[in-house]
Amino acid sequence: MVSAKNAMLMFMIIAPFAICFGTVYRVGDASGWHPMFDYQNWASSKKFCVADTIRFEYNAIFHNVKEVTEPNYRECNATNPIATYYTGNDSFTLKQPGHRYFLCGFPNHCKYGQKVDIYVHEVSSPSPAPANSLPFPPSPAAKNPAPSSARTNSASSIHISIVQIAIKSLAVVVLAYFV
């Protein structure tokens, strides 16, 4: 039988890892990043939390990603971005709660809907991954990485599954040892 002391020790070792790893979202899910998609509806169907990652996948010849302020987001003004990304595979880890605003800087793309407001919640528990999630590791940010005070959006939810499986396996081994 597990003593209260051993159970508490196991909890103290394993619990921090259970909430440290976020979910990876592919912006637009399978549709990716392009005009004529309802990104606001997409974003409102997700719960983005601190430590989650959002990934923009797009054809870099025709699109880019610009992080902008709220007024510039509302006006589709891409002339003074916080940061510009153009690799076609850009990821952002959400580090603080609040809004982050992204749009495409190509002419008229934002006006046709290629913009997204990501609201980031405080971390309370790990975000669940949807059934259609795929394991996309975060890519390095392109030019002008977003400041740590910025907020981000996500695409398809993806748990960092290998790390979580390893942690859960360790928990089972430790539990089996004490039982």
Rounded mean pLDDT, 35-56? 96
Assess contact for 2 and 179: CB atoms under 8 A: yes
CATH numbers and ranges of domains, the chain: 19-120 (2.60.40.420)
Contacts of 178 (CB under 8 A, 6+ apart): 2, 3, 6, 7, 10
Crossing angle (nearest 10°) for helices 161-178 and 4-20: 180
Query: How much is the pLDDT for 123?
Result: 79
pLDDT averaged over every residue in the chain: 76
Q: Is the dihedral of CA 126, 127, 131, 133 positive or negative?
A: negative
Other CB atoms within a 10 A radius of the CB of residue 170 amount to 14
Is 38 a residue whose pLDDT tops 90?
Answer: yes
Residue type, 36: M
Give the tens place of pLDDT for each residue, 52-84. Answer: 999 999 999 999 999 999 999 999 999 999 999
pTM of the model: 0.61
